[in-house]
């Protein structure tokens, strides 16, 4: 088993959320990665913040702690399948989130996110919410 950590969970951890930090500790021996999309979202947030230098340093540290999974042909193929099926069903999810979900599905990872409502609509995606007490 391995985890793909969504942007919101990374941010909760940075901000000192005890529940999330405890879950990271409980799962410290299980491989974790982030999507290149999450990395981009974290960079964007740092660059638009009031304390750019400090926040960029945190993002660069995260880059050292977690492998970053890039978008490759297999992930794009999964993305296109999911997007077509969701569009036919009239259930849309934004493309960045679909790319994160496609990464988790393609890499056979469990997606760790607080956005269960959004991601639970994606068939076959394994989700854990580390922002909830167990």
Number of domains, the chain: 1
Query: Is 134 contained in some domain?
Result: no
Supply the range of the domain harboring residue 113. Answer: 3-128
pLDDT-derived band of residue 129, with 50, 70 and 90 as boundaries? very high
Query: Is 42 contained in some domain?
Result: yes
Query: Is 55 contained in some domain?
Result: yes
Query: Is 96 contained in some domain?
Result: yes
* pTM score of the predicted model: 0.95
Tell me the CATH number at 52: 3.40.50.1010
Query: Is 124 contained in some domain?
Result: yes
Query: Is 54 contained in some domain?
Result: yes
Write out pLDDT tens, residues 77-121: 999 999 999 999 998 889 999 999 999 999 999 999 999 988 999
Say how far apart CA 40 and CA 50 lie, in whole Å: 18
- Confidence (pLDDT) at 114: 97
Helix boundaries (H) for 1-134: 7-14, 18-26, 36-47, 52-65, 73-88, 95-106, 116-119
Query: Is 76 contained in some domain?
Result: yes
Write out pLDDT tens, residues 50-65: 999 999 999 999 999 9
């Amino acid at each position: 088993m391995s985890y793909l950590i969504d942007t919101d969970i990374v941010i909760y951890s940075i901000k000192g959320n005890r529940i999330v930090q405890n879950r990271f500790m409980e799962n410290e021996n299980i491989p974790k990665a982030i999507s290149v999309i999450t990395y981009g979202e974290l960079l964007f947030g740092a660059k638009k913040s009031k304390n750019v230098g400090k926040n960029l340093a945190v993002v660069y540290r995260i880059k050292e702690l977690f492998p970053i999974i890039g978008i490759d042909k297999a992930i794009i193929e999964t993305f296109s399948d999911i997007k077509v099926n969701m569009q036919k069903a009239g259930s849309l999810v934004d493309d960045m989130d679909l790319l994160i979900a496609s990464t988790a599905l393609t890499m056979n990872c469990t997606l760790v996110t607080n956005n269960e409502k959004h991601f639970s609509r994606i068939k076959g995606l394994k989700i854990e919410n580390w922002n909830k007490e167990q």
